[in-house]
Amino acid sequence: VRLGKNGVEEVLGLGQLTQFEKDGLEALKGEL
């Protein structure tokens, strides 16, 4: 998220994730 004077200006993606990061994200989705 990019913040500016008026709050949120742009929502940024996660970018390129490694397989380790993808696995961790999948494991956490239930908690998020």
Separation CA 32–CA 30 (nearest Å): 6
Residues 1-32: tens digit of each pLDDT: 999 999 999 999 888 999 999 999 999 998 87
Domain count, the chain: 1
Report pLDDT for 9: 96
DSSP string across 3-22: EETTEEEE--------HHHH
pLDDT at 30: 87
Q: What pLDDT is attached to residue 27?
A: 95
Which residue segment(s) compose the domain that 31 sits in? Answer: 1-32
